[in-house]
Amino acid sequence: MARISIDLKNGDLANQASETIIGIDLGTTNSLVAYVIEGKAVAVKDNKNNKTLVPSILHLKEESGFVVGAEAHEMLVTDPANTIYSVKRLLGKSYHDLESVQTILGYEVIDDGSESLVKIKVRNKFYTPTELSAEILKALKIRVEAELGSTVSKAVITVPAYFNDAQRQATRDAGKLAGLDVLRIINEPTAASLAYGLGQKDEQIIAVYDLGGGTFDISILQIQDGVFEVLATNGDTFLGGDDFDRLIVDFWRKEYQLSDSKIFSGKSAGQRLRLLAEKAKKHFSSENTFQSNLDGTEFMLTKQQFEQLITPLVDKTIDCCRQALSDAKLETKDIQHIVMVGGSTRVDFVKQRVGAFFKKTVYDNIDPDEVVALGAAIQADILAGNQKDVLLLDITPLSLGIETMGGLMDTIIPRNTKVPSKAGRQYTTSIDGQKNLKIAVFQGERDLVTNNRKLGEFVLRNIPPMPAGLPKIEVQFIINADGILKVKAKELRSGTEQAIDIKPTYGISEEDMGRMLLDSIQNASSDMAARAILEAKNEANHILLSTDKFLEQNDSVLSDLEIEEIRSLQSNLKSASDGNDKDLINSAIQQLNDYSAPIAHKVMDLVIRKAMKGQKV
The model's pLDDT over 542-561, given as tens digits with 9 standing for 90+, comes to 889 889 988 988 888 888 89
Is the domain of 286 the same as that of 412? no
pLDDT surpassing 70 at residue 62: yes
Name the nearest CA neighbour of 122 among 170, 72, 71.
72
In this prediction, residue 281 has a pLDDT band, given cuts at 50, 70 and 90, of very high
Is the domain of 530 the same as that of 589? yes
Mean pLDDT, the chain, as a whole number?
Answer: 85
For the ranges 95-104, 385-394, 400-409, 566-575, which has the lowest average pLDDT? 95-104
- Sheet bearing 119-122, strands edge to edge: 108-110, 119-122, 125-127
Is the domain of 52 the same as that of 87? yes
Name the nearest CA neighbour of 108 among 136, 127, 132.
127
Q: Is residue 4 part of a domain?
A: no
**Cα–Cα distance, 564 to 514 (Å, whole number):** 55
Task: At 305, give phi and psi (nearest 5°).
Answer: -65, -45
Is the domain of 94 the same as that of 162? yes
Identify whether the C-beta of residue 510 lies closer than 8 Å to the C-beta of residue 13.
no
pLDDT at 557: 84
Query: Of the residues 283, 307, 331, which one is the last residue of a structural domain?
Result: 307
In this prediction, residue 262 has a pLDDT band, given cuts at 50, 70 and 90, of low
In this prediction, residue 110 has a pLDDT band, given cuts at 50, 70 and 90, of confident
- The amino acid present at 215, given as its one-letter code, is T
Query: In the chain, what's the furthest Cα-to-Cα distance?
Result: 80
pLDDT surpassing 70 at residue 583: yes
Q: Is residue 413 part of a domain?
A: yes
pLDDT at 143: 94
pLDDT at 113: 57
pLDDT at 615: 60
Identify whether the C-beta of residue 573 lies closer than 8 Å to the C-beta of residue 585.
yes
**Cα–Cα distance, 409 to 126 (Å, whole number):** 22
pLDDT at 268: 54
pLDDT surpassing 80 at residue 51: yes
Strand ranges (E), 124-175: 125-127, 154-159
CATH number of the domain where residue 303 is located: 3.90.640.10
Q: Is residue 27 part of a domain?
A: yes
pLDDT at 480: 79
HSE at residue 598, side-chain half, CA atoms within 13 A, is 4
**Cα–Cα distance, 418 to 488 (Å, whole number):** 20
**Cα–Cα distance, 391 to 65 (Å, whole number):** 44
Is the domain of 545 the same as that of 453? no
188 belongs to the catalytic site: yes
SS3 387: coil
Q: Are strands 119-122 and 108-110 parallel, antiparallel or unpaired?
A: antiparallel
Is the domain of 41 the same as that of 178? yes
Give 484-542 pLDDT, tens digit per residue: 788 999 999 888 888 888 765 445 666 777 778 788 888 888 888 888 899 889 889 88
Q: Is residue 116 part of a domain?
A: yes
Is the domain of 515 the same as that of 544? no
**Cα–Cα distance, 86 to 28 (Å, whole number):** 5
Q: Is residue 346 part of a domain?
A: no
> Which of 112, 147, 188, 369 does the annotation list as catalytic?
188
CATH number of the domain where residue 496 is located: 2.60.34.10
Highest mean pLDDT among 101-110, 272-281, 562-571: 562-571
Cis peptide upstream of residue 129 (ω within 30 degrees of 0) = no
**Cα–Cα distance, 207 to 234 (Å, whole number):** 11
**Cα–Cα distance, 447 to 467 (Å, whole number):** 29
Query: Of the residues 351, 383, 415, which one is the last residue of a structural domain?
Result: 383
CATH number of the domain where residue 176 is located: 3.30.420.40
Identify whether the C-beta of residue 397 lies closer than 8 Å to the C-beta of residue 444.
no
Average pLDDT over residues 223-250: 86
Who's near 160: CB < 8 A, 6+ residues apart? 187, 188, 217, 233
The residue that leads in pLDDT, 102 or 405, is 405
12 belongs to the catalytic site: no
Q: Is residue 212 part of a domain?
A: no
Who's near 197: CB < 8 A, 6+ residues apart? none
* Number of structural domains the chain divides into: 4
Terminal C-alpha separation, the chain: 58
**Cα–Cα distance, 159 to 342 (Å, whole number):** 14
Q: Is residue 260 part of a domain?
A: yes
C-alpha distances (whole Å) from 270 to each of 29, 246, 274, 452 are 20, 11, 6, 53
C-alpha distances (whole Å) from 12 to each of 8, 157, 413, 517 are 9, 18, 17, 8
Give 351-407 pLDDT, tens digit per residue: 999 999 999 999 999 999 999 999 999 999 988 878 766 655 567 778 899 999 889
pLDDT at 1: 31
For the ranges 263-277, 313-327, 474-488, 566-580, which has the lowest average pLDDT? 263-277
> Which of 12, 25, 112, 369 does the annotation list as catalytic?
25
The β-bridge partners of 216 are: 211, 236
pLDDT at 269: 58
Query: Of the residues 501, 522, 543, which one is the last residue of a structural domain?
Result: 522
pLDDT surpassing 70 at residue 260: no
**Cα–Cα distance, 279 to 284 (Å, whole number):** 9
Domain that holds residue 153: 22-196+368-383
pLDDT at 604: 82
pLDDT at 209: 97
Q: Is residue 233 part of a domain?
A: no
Is the domain of 128 the same as that of 75? yes
Percent of the chain whose pLDDT exceeds 70: 88
**What are the start-end ranges of the H helices in 152-224?**
165-177, 188-195
pLDDT at 429: 86
229 belongs to the catalytic site: no
For residue 208, count other CB atoms closer than 10 A to its CB: 30
Is the domain of 416 the same as that of 486? yes
In this prediction, residue 103 has a pLDDT band, given cuts at 50, 70 and 90, of very low
Is the domain of 290 the same as that of 147? no
**Cα–Cα distance, 165 to 146 (Å, whole number):** 33
User: 225's torsion region: left (phi>0), alpha (psi -120 to 50) or beta?
Assistant: left
> Which of 112, 173, 181, 210 does the annotation list as catalytic?
210
pLDDT at 7: 31
Is the domain of 184 the same as that of 292? no
210 belongs to the catalytic site: yes
Is the domain of 32 the same as that of 136? yes
Give 155-182 pLDDT, tens digit per residue: 999 998 888 777 888 899 899 999 999 9
Identify whether the C-beta of residue 284 lies closer than 8 Å to the C-beta of residue 290.
yes
> Which of 88, 141, 154, 537 does the annotation list as catalytic?
88
pLDDT at 200: 63
Task: At 24, give phi and psi (nearest 5°).
Answer: -125, 130
